[in-house]
Amino acid sequence: MTKIATVFLKRLTHAITTFVKDISNSSKYTKATITLTVVYIVFFSTYTLALHYSFKTTGWDLGSYTQSFWTTINEGKLFQTNLQIYKENPNGSYFGTHFAPILFLLLPFYAIFQSAETLLVLKAVVGGFSIIPLYLFTRRIVGNEKVALVVVGIYALNPHLLIARLFDFQEHCLLPLLIFSAYYTYVKGSYNKFLVLMVLVLAVNEFMSIMVAMFVLALLIERYGIKEVLRFKFLKDKIGVKLGLLIIISALWLLLAYGVKKQFNPEGLTVTSHFPISIEDTTPWGIVMTLLGQPDNLLKALSYDSPKKLIGILMFMAPTLALPLYSLSFVLPFIPYLAMALVSSLDLYYLFTAHYSFYVSPFLFIGLVGAMRKITRKGSSRIIPALISMSVIAFMLGSFLFISYSHIPAFDKHTEMLHKVISIVPSNASILTQNNIFPHFATRSNAYSKTFPWGTMILGGNFSNVDYILVDTNSSAWGVEWASILMPYVNEQLKSGKYGLLVYIDGIILLKRGYHGEPINPS
């Protein structure tokens, strides 16, 4: 696997070198786009690594992915992580929660450098490279390189994507690159490549099946007209047949995804905590049938936190001045996501925070480009300055909110001390630790984290006999004091005499099983 990754990297390096030579004679706008791409990659690599070293990353998600990659490569366990162990998913495989075969393509990269840092850099790289196809298809559709540069600038400043880029690692980070690349092949007329790339989009997450089908339906309507689509006359055209085939593949993929998840998770994953009402069947069709069959529950779900939902949607659309709403390429794939967000009680959905903006932002910018084509044809000159101004304002607001959650890297004495305490724990020892420390222990299968406050056996596996327990009462991530979740368990173990206090310094507590000596000073 390492050899495969090495060969791939050599070919990628050669392709990049060739590309750099090709753009040496390109326009200043293209060169500016390439510069933006490089800056984007360097910034997010540097900043996310700094957050990680400052214990601002979390077990859920960075730690769980790090551990699942590690167990797959070193122990032959299919993306198994202790943080995915539920009562309904005792195996702990990520495939019991989500069907994401795209992870297999990322394994070779992780195999070269097996660490959380690899995933953070990889996320920054794919995020930066997504700028290039966006620029290319914007330039091709709008016919104006200056406008294309404005669009990628607005994309780079998008506050929702800013938060998504800085939040740990998820396979969803591949969606902008894959969707933009697929759409670029579509506008170029390379429909076979479009088909392949859209299948890769499906491989990212089972929920993309519905969004891809709606996106392709939008392309069909834009290409042939709604009457022709309703009469299936698009099937007389080879291109229409390929697009229609992709809709069928999307539907079959959704069934395949839930079939695979059922194999890993026979009882079915319960996510009723994401809804303000009781829903037993949390498959897409189960949710729809439950809500449509019980109008009172549908009204209750829609009215839950409704002011916040409205604000979230308005804030999501504001940086683009809601221009994508004029494009079916955005509206149709946005509908299923919006429907899910409106009936949910999980504010991450309707505030488009964490990684959830990755689902819809690619379609948002495809819709924006479609709107920009109409605007530039009409010769409107006011809309571009307005777009830039709104994007800058949204970026500044998003940055302020991000910083307000204490997401500023901290290289102080406390952080240095915590790293020293971590170095005390042997590499083969089992450990239970809090959410924002777990990623630093995730390259072992016997690391655990009691990530959320409910039950020790519901999430995090059986950690009753770990060798070490580590908490830090003076660190936090994403606005949460994670030590508070674990401290009741720490106090319980200390009282039982099963564990002794190995280290206690500056709010850092390290317990060792069977230890009866005095605390040591790691400095």
Least confident interval from 26-30, 401-405, 470-474: 401-405
Would you place residue 387 in the very low, low, confident or very high pLDDT band (cuts 50, 70, 90)? confident
Tell which wins on pLDDT, 204 or 268.
204
- pLDDT (0 to 100) of residue 458: 38
Element spanning 235, H or E: none
- pLDDT (0 to 100) of residue 293: 79
Answer for the pair 188, 239: CB distance below 8 angstroms, yes or no: no
Residue 453 has pLDDT above 50, yes or no: no
Q: What is the mean pLDDT of the chain?
A: 88
Tell which wins on pLDDT, 509 or 84.
509
The 10s digit of each residue's pLDDT in 287-343 is: 778 777 788 888 988 999 999 999 999 999 999 999 999 999 999 999 999 999 999
Residue 379 has pLDDT above 70, yes or no: no
Helices (H) and strands (E) in the chain, counts: 22, 5
Residue 455 has pLDDT above 90, yes or no: no
d(CA 509, CA 519): 10
The 10s digit of each residue's pLDDT in 41-58 is: 999 999 999 999 999 999
The 10s digit of each residue's pLDDT in 135-167 is: 999 999 998 899 999 999 999 999 999 999 999
For the segment 346-375, the average pLDDT, to the nearest whole number, is: 92
- pLDDT (0 to 100) of residue 15: 60
- pLDDT (0 to 100) of residue 378: 65
Residue 264 has pLDDT above 50, yes or no: yes
Please state the φ and ψ torsions of residue 131, each to the nearest 5 degrees: -65, -35
Least confident interval from 40-54, 111-125, 272-286: 272-286
Would you place residue 96 in the very low, low, confident or very high pLDDT band (cuts 50, 70, 90)? confident
Q: Give start and end residues of each alpha helix (H) in 54-158.
A: 64-75, 103-112, 116-129, 131-142, 145-157
d(CA 243, CA 247): 7
Would you place residue 459 in the very low, low, confident or very high pLDDT band (cuts 50, 70, 90)? very low
For the segment 376-387, the average pLDDT, to the nearest whole number, is: 74
pTM: 0.92
Would you place residue 190 in the very low, low, confident or very high pLDDT band (cuts 50, 70, 90)? very high
d(CA 351, CA 167): 15
- pLDDT (0 to 100) of residue 80: 92
d(CA 220, CA 239): 9
d(CA 82, CA 92): 6
Would you place residue 457 in the very low, low, confident or very high pLDDT band (cuts 50, 70, 90)? very low
- pLDDT (0 to 100) of residue 521: 86
Pairing state between β 468-472 and 431-433: parallel
Interhelix angle 357-378/131-142, nearest 10 degrees:
30
Tell which wins on pLDDT, 405 or 317.
317
